[in-house]
Structure 1
Amino acid sequence: MRSIRMIVAAMLATAGLVAVGATTQAGSAATTTKDLSASYVNVMKYETFRLKGRVSTFNARPVWLQYRDGKTGSWKTKTKATSSANGNFSFFPSTYKTRYFRYYAPPSGGKKSIIGNAKKITVVSQKVSVQIIRQTQCHFADNPTSDVTFVYTFYPARAGRNVDFASSAVDLSDFTDSRGRVAFRFNPGKTNGTYQAAATAKAYEGAAPLASGVSQYSITQCQIIFFP
Protein backbone atom coordinates (compact mmCIF):
# COMPACT_ATOMS: atom_id res chain seq x y z
CA MET A 1 0.00 0.00 0.00
CA ARG A 2 1.32 3.39 -0.91
CA SER A 3 2.01 5.72 2.00
CA ILE A 4 -0.14 8.76 2.66
CA ARG A 5 2.92 10.97 2.04
CA MET A 6 3.45 9.54 -1.45
CA ILE A 7 -0.22 9.93 -2.35
CA VAL A 8 -0.27 13.57 -1.21
CA ALA A 9 2.93 14.31 -3.16
CA ALA A 10 1.42 12.82 -6.30
CA MET A 11 -1.76 14.88 -5.85
CA LEU A 12 0.27 18.08 -5.44
CA ALA A 13 2.33 17.34 -8.54
CA THR A 14 -0.83 16.68 -10.57
CA ALA A 15 -2.40 19.90 -9.33
CA GLY A 16 0.74 21.77 -10.30
CA LEU A 17 0.64 20.37 -13.82
CA VAL A 18 -3.00 21.33 -14.21
CA ALA A 19 -2.30 24.88 -13.04
CA VAL A 20 0.61 25.25 -15.44
CA GLY A 21 -1.46 23.94 -18.32
CA ALA A 22 -4.30 26.35 -17.60
CA THR A 23 -1.92 29.28 -17.42
CA THR A 24 -0.29 28.33 -20.73
CA GLN A 25 -3.62 28.11 -22.50
CA ALA A 26 -4.80 31.45 -21.15
CA GLY A 27 -1.48 33.04 -22.09
CA SER A 28 -1.82 31.91 -25.70
CA ALA A 29 -4.63 34.40 -26.27
CA ALA A 30 -3.36 37.65 -27.76
CA THR A 31 -4.10 40.89 -25.95
CA THR A 32 -5.61 43.56 -28.15
CA THR A 33 -3.64 46.76 -28.65
CA LYS A 34 -5.70 49.60 -30.05
CA ASP A 35 -2.64 51.58 -31.14
CA LEU A 36 -0.69 50.92 -34.32
CA SER A 37 3.10 50.83 -34.07
CA ALA A 38 4.87 52.62 -36.94
CA SER A 39 8.39 52.17 -38.25
CA TYR A 40 8.40 55.95 -38.87
CA VAL A 41 5.88 58.68 -38.05
CA ASN A 42 7.67 61.18 -40.33
CA VAL A 43 7.95 59.71 -43.81
CA MET A 44 9.07 60.85 -47.23
CA LYS A 45 6.55 61.21 -50.02
CA TYR A 46 5.64 57.74 -51.37
CA GLU A 47 8.03 56.02 -48.95
CA THR A 48 6.85 52.56 -47.89
CA PHE A 49 6.67 52.20 -44.11
CA ARG A 50 5.40 49.58 -41.67
CA LEU A 51 2.34 49.65 -39.42
CA LYS A 52 1.78 46.75 -37.05
CA GLY A 53 -0.55 45.78 -34.24
CA ARG A 54 -2.22 42.91 -32.41
CA VAL A 55 -5.81 41.75 -31.92
CA SER A 56 -7.18 39.28 -29.37
CA THR A 57 -7.80 35.95 -31.03
CA PHE A 58 -7.00 32.25 -30.93
CA ASN A 59 -7.30 32.09 -34.70
CA ALA A 60 -6.43 34.24 -37.68
CA ARG A 61 -8.99 36.95 -38.40
CA PRO A 62 -9.46 39.68 -41.03
CA VAL A 63 -7.90 43.06 -40.33
CA TRP A 64 -8.32 46.16 -42.49
CA LEU A 65 -6.09 49.22 -42.71
CA GLN A 66 -8.10 52.43 -42.96
CA TYR A 67 -7.15 56.08 -43.43
CA ARG A 68 -8.53 59.59 -43.61
CA ASP A 69 -6.97 62.94 -44.49
CA GLY A 70 -7.84 64.83 -41.29
CA LYS A 71 -8.95 64.41 -37.71
CA THR A 72 -12.56 64.22 -38.84
CA GLY A 73 -14.37 62.69 -41.78
CA SER A 74 -15.10 59.19 -43.01
CA TRP A 75 -12.55 56.41 -42.98
CA LYS A 76 -11.55 54.68 -46.19
CA THR A 77 -10.18 51.17 -46.42
CA LYS A 78 -6.71 51.14 -47.96
CA THR A 79 -5.93 47.42 -47.82
CA LYS A 80 -7.08 44.18 -46.21
CA ALA A 81 -5.04 41.48 -44.52
CA THR A 82 -5.36 38.62 -42.06
CA SER A 83 -3.75 38.40 -38.65
CA SER A 84 -1.60 35.46 -37.67
CA ALA A 85 -3.00 32.87 -35.26
CA ASN A 86 -1.47 34.79 -32.34
CA GLY A 87 -3.15 38.02 -33.42
CA ASN A 88 -0.19 39.90 -34.91
CA PHE A 89 -0.60 41.76 -38.19
CA SER A 90 1.37 44.17 -40.36
CA PHE A 91 0.71 46.55 -43.22
CA PHE A 92 3.21 48.21 -45.56
CA PRO A 93 1.50 51.31 -47.00
CA SER A 94 2.85 54.49 -48.55
CA THR A 95 1.31 57.93 -48.82
CA TYR A 96 1.91 61.16 -50.69
CA LYS A 97 0.33 63.36 -48.04
CA THR A 98 -0.09 63.53 -44.26
CA ARG A 99 -2.84 61.18 -43.13
CA TYR A 100 -4.34 59.38 -40.15
CA PHE A 101 -4.34 55.58 -40.11
CA ARG A 102 -6.13 53.01 -37.98
CA TYR A 103 -7.01 49.32 -38.17
CA TYR A 104 -10.45 47.77 -38.16
CA ALA A 105 -11.11 44.11 -37.40
CA PRO A 106 -14.64 43.13 -38.51
CA PRO A 107 -16.63 40.58 -36.47
CA SER A 108 -15.09 37.14 -36.85
CA GLY A 109 -15.51 33.73 -35.25
CA GLY A 110 -18.03 34.99 -32.74
CA LYS A 111 -15.81 37.87 -31.69
CA LYS A 112 -16.95 41.47 -31.87
CA SER A 113 -15.40 44.04 -34.18
CA ILE A 114 -12.39 46.05 -33.02
CA ILE A 115 -11.73 49.66 -34.00
CA GLY A 116 -8.18 50.83 -33.42
CA ASN A 117 -6.99 54.30 -32.48
CA ALA A 118 -5.97 56.83 -35.12
CA LYS A 119 -2.24 57.32 -35.74
CA LYS A 120 -0.91 60.35 -37.60
CA ILE A 121 1.72 59.78 -40.27
CA THR A 122 3.30 63.03 -41.44
CA VAL A 123 4.84 63.46 -44.88
CA VAL A 124 7.97 65.64 -44.62
CA SER A 125 10.23 67.19 -47.23
CA GLN A 126 13.65 65.68 -47.79
CA LYS A 127 16.60 67.88 -46.82
CA VAL A 128 20.36 67.63 -46.94
CA SER A 129 23.15 69.64 -45.33
CA VAL A 130 26.91 69.44 -45.89
CA GLN A 131 29.96 70.13 -43.74
CA ILE A 132 33.37 70.36 -45.40
CA ILE A 133 36.43 69.60 -43.32
CA ARG A 134 39.68 71.20 -44.58
CA GLN A 135 37.90 72.88 -47.45
CA THR A 136 41.01 74.80 -48.53
CA GLN A 137 44.26 72.85 -48.90
CA CYS A 138 47.79 74.03 -49.58
CA HIS A 139 50.84 72.03 -50.62
CA PHE A 140 54.55 72.38 -51.11
CA ALA A 141 56.08 71.48 -54.44
CA ASP A 142 56.75 67.82 -53.71
CA ASN A 143 54.43 67.21 -50.77
CA PRO A 144 50.85 65.96 -51.21
CA THR A 145 47.94 67.88 -49.79
CA SER A 146 45.95 66.66 -46.79
CA ASP A 147 42.64 64.87 -47.22
CA VAL A 148 39.37 66.74 -47.69
CA THR A 149 36.22 65.35 -46.05
CA PHE A 150 32.62 66.04 -47.07
CA VAL A 151 30.03 65.09 -44.44
CA TYR A 152 26.41 64.98 -45.64
CA THR A 153 23.37 64.69 -43.38
CA PHE A 154 20.11 63.63 -45.01
CA TYR A 155 16.68 64.17 -43.45
CA PRO A 156 14.66 62.23 -42.55
CA ALA A 157 17.41 59.88 -41.38
CA ARG A 158 17.32 56.40 -42.88
CA ALA A 159 20.11 53.99 -41.99
CA GLY A 160 21.56 52.22 -45.01
CA ARG A 161 20.47 54.66 -47.71
CA ASN A 162 22.90 54.56 -50.62
CA VAL A 163 24.63 57.86 -51.47
CA ASP A 164 26.81 58.58 -54.51
CA PHE A 165 29.51 61.25 -54.28
CA ALA A 166 31.12 62.92 -57.30
CA SER A 167 34.04 65.34 -57.28
CA SER A 168 36.77 66.57 -59.59
CA ALA A 169 39.21 64.20 -57.88
CA VAL A 170 37.23 61.01 -57.20
CA ASP A 171 33.82 59.32 -57.40
CA LEU A 172 32.69 57.37 -54.31
CA SER A 173 29.65 55.60 -52.88
CA ASP A 174 28.64 54.79 -49.31
CA PHE A 175 25.64 54.34 -46.98
CA THR A 176 24.09 56.63 -44.37
CA ASP A 177 24.17 55.76 -40.68
CA SER A 178 21.25 55.83 -38.23
CA ARG A 179 21.51 59.64 -38.04
CA GLY A 180 21.35 60.02 -41.82
CA ARG A 181 25.04 60.94 -42.03
CA VAL A 182 27.64 59.79 -44.52
CA ALA A 183 31.24 61.00 -44.96
CA PHE A 184 33.51 60.99 -48.02
CA ARG A 185 37.23 61.49 -47.49
CA PHE A 186 39.74 61.82 -50.31
CA ASN A 187 43.01 63.45 -51.33
CA PRO A 188 42.33 66.28 -53.80
CA GLY A 189 45.74 66.21 -55.48
CA LYS A 190 48.28 69.00 -55.99
CA THR A 191 46.89 70.96 -58.91
CA ASN A 192 46.00 74.45 -57.77
CA GLY A 193 42.45 75.58 -58.42
CA THR A 194 38.86 75.54 -57.21
CA TYR A 195 36.88 72.33 -57.67
CA GLN A 196 33.32 71.12 -57.21
CA ALA A 197 31.65 68.18 -55.50
CA ALA A 198 28.10 66.97 -54.88
CA ALA A 199 26.25 63.97 -53.45
CA THR A 200 22.99 62.23 -54.37
CA ALA A 201 20.98 59.97 -52.07
CA LYS A 202 19.38 57.29 -54.20
CA ALA A 203 15.67 56.47 -54.24
CA TYR A 204 14.66 54.77 -51.00
CA GLU A 205 11.66 52.46 -50.46
CA GLY A 206 9.62 54.37 -53.05
CA ALA A 207 10.81 57.85 -52.07
CA ALA A 208 12.50 59.96 -54.73
CA PRO A 209 16.28 60.52 -54.81
CA LEU A 210 17.69 63.73 -53.36
CA ALA A 211 20.69 65.64 -54.70
CA SER A 212 22.73 68.07 -52.66
CA GLY A 213 23.79 71.41 -54.01
CA VAL A 214 27.26 71.79 -55.54
CA SER A 215 29.98 72.60 -53.02
CA GLN A 216 33.51 73.79 -53.64
CA TYR A 217 36.96 72.99 -52.32
CA SER A 218 40.24 74.56 -53.33
CA ILE A 219 43.97 73.82 -53.56
CA THR A 220 46.70 76.45 -53.31
CA GLN A 221 50.46 76.63 -53.05
CA CYS A 222 51.67 76.86 -49.45
CA GLN A 223 53.38 80.13 -48.61
CA ILE A 224 56.80 79.86 -47.06
CA ILE A 225 57.48 82.56 -44.50
CA PHE A 226 61.05 83.37 -43.61
CA PHE A 227 61.81 85.01 -40.30
CA PRO A 228 64.89 87.21 -39.93
Structure 2
Amino acid sequence: MLPAGIEVEEHVGPPDVAPLFPEEAVAVAGAVPARRAEYAAVRACARTALGRLGLVAGPIPSAPDRAPVWPPGVVGSMTHCDGYRAAAVARSDEWVAVGIDAEVLAPLPDGVGPLVMSETEREALRSVDPARCPDRVLFSAKESVYKVWYPQVRTWLGFEDVDVRLGDGTFVARIGRDGLGVDELHGRWAARGGLVVTAVTLALR
Protein backbone atom coordinates (compact mmCIF):
# COMPACT_ATOMS: atom_id res chain seq x y z
CA MET A 1 0.00 0.00 0.00
CA LEU A 2 3.00 2.30 0.43
CA PRO A 3 5.74 3.06 -2.11
CA ALA A 4 9.38 2.05 -1.92
CA GLY A 5 11.43 4.11 0.50
CA ILE A 6 8.79 4.00 3.24
CA GLU A 7 9.36 1.39 5.93
CA VAL A 8 6.40 -0.21 7.69
CA GLU A 9 6.02 -2.49 10.69
CA GLU A 10 2.69 -3.93 11.82
CA HIS A 11 1.54 -6.24 14.58
CA VAL A 12 -1.69 -8.22 14.86
CA GLY A 13 -3.22 -9.53 18.05
CA PRO A 14 -2.95 -8.40 21.66
CA PRO A 15 -0.21 -5.81 22.20
CA ASP A 16 3.17 -7.25 23.12
CA VAL A 17 4.77 -6.02 26.31
CA ALA A 18 7.17 -3.28 25.23
CA PRO A 19 9.34 -0.87 27.23
CA LEU A 20 8.95 2.89 27.10
CA PHE A 21 11.65 5.53 27.24
CA PRO A 22 11.18 8.00 30.11
CA GLU A 23 10.31 10.75 27.60
CA GLU A 24 7.48 8.56 26.29
CA ALA A 25 6.21 7.32 29.64
CA VAL A 26 5.30 10.86 30.69
CA ALA A 27 2.51 10.97 28.10
CA VAL A 28 0.73 7.90 29.51
CA ALA A 29 1.67 8.19 33.17
CA GLY A 30 -1.98 8.44 34.18
CA ALA A 31 -3.41 6.21 31.47
CA VAL A 32 -5.22 2.93 32.06
CA PRO A 33 -3.07 -0.18 31.46
CA ALA A 34 -4.69 -0.96 28.10
CA ARG A 35 -3.96 2.53 26.75
CA ARG A 36 -0.39 2.38 28.03
CA ALA A 37 0.13 -1.05 26.43
CA GLU A 38 -1.09 0.17 23.03
CA TYR A 39 1.05 3.32 23.28
CA ALA A 40 4.13 1.19 23.95
CA ALA A 41 3.34 -1.46 21.35
CA VAL A 42 2.84 0.95 18.48
CA ARG A 43 6.12 2.67 19.38
CA ALA A 44 7.83 -0.70 19.29
CA CYS A 45 6.54 -1.02 15.72
CA ALA A 46 7.90 2.43 14.94
CA ARG A 47 11.34 1.60 16.32
CA THR A 48 11.49 -1.54 14.19
CA ALA A 49 10.58 0.48 11.10
CA LEU A 50 13.17 3.15 12.00
CA GLY A 51 15.78 0.42 12.29
CA ARG A 52 15.10 -0.52 8.69
CA LEU A 53 15.98 3.06 7.77
CA GLY A 54 19.32 2.50 9.46
CA LEU A 55 18.48 4.58 12.52
CA VAL A 56 19.24 3.67 16.13
CA ALA A 57 16.12 3.07 18.21
CA GLY A 58 15.27 6.00 20.42
CA PRO A 59 12.33 7.70 22.10
CA ILE A 60 9.30 8.87 20.13
CA PRO A 61 7.65 11.18 22.66
CA SER A 62 4.37 13.00 22.32
CA ALA A 63 4.19 16.74 21.72
CA PRO A 64 1.77 18.83 23.82
CA ASP A 65 -0.81 18.35 21.05
CA ARG A 66 -0.23 14.55 21.35
CA ALA A 67 1.39 14.28 17.91
CA PRO A 68 4.43 11.96 17.79
CA VAL A 69 7.83 13.67 17.77
CA TRP A 70 9.94 11.84 15.19
CA PRO A 71 13.75 11.88 15.15
CA PRO A 72 15.38 14.60 13.01
CA GLY A 73 15.25 13.76 9.33
CA VAL A 74 12.25 11.45 9.68
CA VAL A 75 8.54 11.72 8.91
CA GLY A 76 6.09 9.08 9.96
CA SER A 77 2.69 7.98 11.12
CA MET A 78 1.31 5.49 13.64
CA THR A 79 -2.08 3.88 14.07
CA HIS A 80 -3.75 1.31 16.27
CA CYS A 81 -7.17 -0.17 16.81
CA ASP A 82 -8.48 -3.26 18.55
CA GLY A 83 -6.11 -6.10 17.67
CA TYR A 84 -3.87 -4.16 15.30
CA ARG A 85 -1.12 -1.53 15.33
CA ALA A 86 1.30 -0.25 12.71
CA ALA A 87 3.88 2.45 12.01
CA ALA A 88 5.27 3.85 8.76
CA VAL A 89 8.41 5.99 8.53
CA ALA A 90 10.44 7.64 5.78
CA ARG A 91 13.32 10.05 5.32
CA SER A 92 12.30 13.70 5.18
CA ASP A 93 14.68 14.41 2.30
CA GLU A 94 12.47 12.17 0.15
CA TRP A 95 8.98 12.54 1.65
CA VAL A 96 7.04 15.47 3.06
CA ALA A 97 4.60 13.35 5.04
CA VAL A 98 3.10 9.90 5.53
CA GLY A 99 -0.38 9.14 6.87
CA ILE A 100 -1.78 5.74 7.83
CA ASP A 101 -4.93 4.71 9.65
CA ALA A 102 -6.54 1.43 10.71
CA GLU A 103 -10.13 0.85 11.75
CA VAL A 104 -12.25 -2.16 12.63
CA LEU A 105 -14.16 -3.28 9.53
CA ALA A 106 -17.71 -2.31 10.49
CA PRO A 107 -20.22 0.32 9.36
CA LEU A 108 -20.01 3.65 11.13
CA PRO A 109 -22.38 3.98 14.10
CA ASP A 110 -25.80 5.44 13.39
CA GLY A 111 -25.71 9.21 13.07
CA VAL A 112 -21.95 9.45 12.48
CA GLY A 113 -22.06 9.39 8.67
CA PRO A 114 -23.61 12.87 8.25
CA LEU A 115 -20.99 14.28 10.63
CA VAL A 116 -17.97 13.03 8.68
CA MET A 117 -19.08 13.08 5.06
CA SER A 118 -21.11 15.26 2.74
CA GLU A 119 -24.27 14.23 0.96
CA THR A 120 -22.37 13.98 -2.33
CA GLU A 121 -19.79 11.71 -0.71
CA ARG A 122 -22.52 9.48 0.69
CA GLU A 123 -24.22 9.37 -2.69
CA ALA A 124 -20.96 8.29 -4.34
CA LEU A 125 -20.61 5.42 -1.85
CA ARG A 126 -23.78 3.82 -3.19
CA SER A 127 -21.70 2.29 -6.00
CA VAL A 128 -19.36 0.51 -3.54
CA ASP A 129 -20.17 -2.96 -2.20
CA PRO A 130 -21.71 -2.32 1.25
CA ALA A 131 -20.01 -5.47 2.56
CA ARG A 132 -16.75 -3.54 2.33
CA CYS A 133 -18.09 -0.91 4.75
CA PRO A 134 -17.33 2.01 2.43
CA ASP A 135 -18.41 4.60 5.00
CA ARG A 136 -15.74 3.29 7.37
CA VAL A 137 -13.18 3.30 4.54
CA LEU A 138 -13.98 6.92 3.76
CA PHE A 139 -13.69 7.86 7.43
CA SER A 140 -10.31 6.13 7.65
CA ALA A 141 -9.11 7.86 4.48
CA LYS A 142 -9.88 11.24 6.03
CA GLU A 143 -7.97 10.24 9.15
CA SER A 144 -4.93 9.36 7.01
CA VAL A 145 -5.21 12.68 5.18
CA TYR A 146 -5.28 14.52 8.49
CA LYS A 147 -2.05 12.78 9.52
CA VAL A 148 -0.40 14.20 6.40
CA TRP A 149 -1.94 17.65 6.89
CA TYR A 150 -1.40 18.36 10.56
CA PRO A 151 2.39 17.93 10.94
CA GLN A 152 2.90 20.37 8.07
CA VAL A 153 0.24 23.00 8.76
CA ARG A 154 -0.42 22.62 12.52
CA THR A 155 -4.03 23.68 12.18
CA TRP A 156 -7.28 21.75 12.42
CA LEU A 157 -8.64 20.16 9.25
CA GLY A 158 -12.30 19.26 9.57
CA PHE A 159 -14.04 16.33 7.94
CA GLU A 160 -15.97 18.87 5.88
CA ASP A 161 -12.69 20.25 4.48
CA VAL A 162 -11.83 16.99 2.71
CA ASP A 163 -13.81 15.39 -0.12
CA VAL A 164 -12.97 11.71 -0.69
CA ARG A 165 -13.84 9.52 -3.66
CA LEU A 166 -13.15 5.81 -3.39
CA GLY A 167 -11.85 3.67 -6.22
CA ASP A 168 -11.00 -0.03 -6.28
CA GLY A 169 -8.36 -0.04 -3.57
CA THR A 170 -7.53 3.61 -4.18
CA PHE A 171 -8.94 6.99 -3.23
CA VAL A 172 -8.60 10.64 -4.14
CA ALA A 173 -8.87 13.28 -1.41
CA ARG A 174 -9.51 16.88 -2.43
CA ILE A 175 -8.61 19.38 0.27
CA GLY A 176 -10.67 22.55 0.49
CA ARG A 177 -8.16 24.57 2.51
CA ASP A 178 -4.78 26.11 1.69
CA GLY A 179 -1.62 25.26 3.57
CA LEU A 180 -0.34 21.91 2.35
CA GLY A 181 0.89 23.17 -1.01
CA VAL A 182 -1.33 20.72 -2.90
CA ASP A 183 -5.10 20.46 -3.10
CA GLU A 184 -5.31 16.77 -3.92
CA LEU A 185 -3.84 13.63 -2.38
CA HIS A 186 -3.93 10.09 -3.73
CA GLY A 187 -4.07 7.13 -1.37
CA ARG A 188 -4.76 3.43 -1.15
CA TRP A 189 -7.02 1.30 1.01
CA ALA A 190 -7.60 -2.35 1.83
CA ALA A 191 -10.32 -4.16 3.74
CA ARG A 192 -9.41 -7.61 4.99
CA GLY A 193 -9.06 -9.63 8.15
CA GLY A 194 -11.71 -7.58 9.89
CA LEU A 195 -9.78 -4.36 9.34
CA VAL A 196 -9.82 -1.31 7.10
CA VAL A 197 -6.38 0.20 6.46
CA THR A 198 -5.71 3.40 4.51
CA ALA A 199 -2.47 5.14 3.55
CA VAL A 200 -1.51 8.47 1.98
CA THR A 201 1.90 9.92 1.12
CA LEU A 202 3.19 13.28 -0.03
CA ALA A 203 6.55 13.21 -1.78
CA LEU A 204 9.03 16.03 -2.18
CA ARG A 205 8.66 17.60 -5.57
**TM-score where L is the length of structure 2:** 0.22
Query: Of the two structures, which has the highest relative contact order with CA contacts closer than 8 Å and spacing of 6 or more?
Result: 2
Structure having the higher helix fraction is 2
Structure having the higher strand fraction is 1
**TM-score where L is the length of structure 1:** 0.21
Bigger radius of gyration: 1
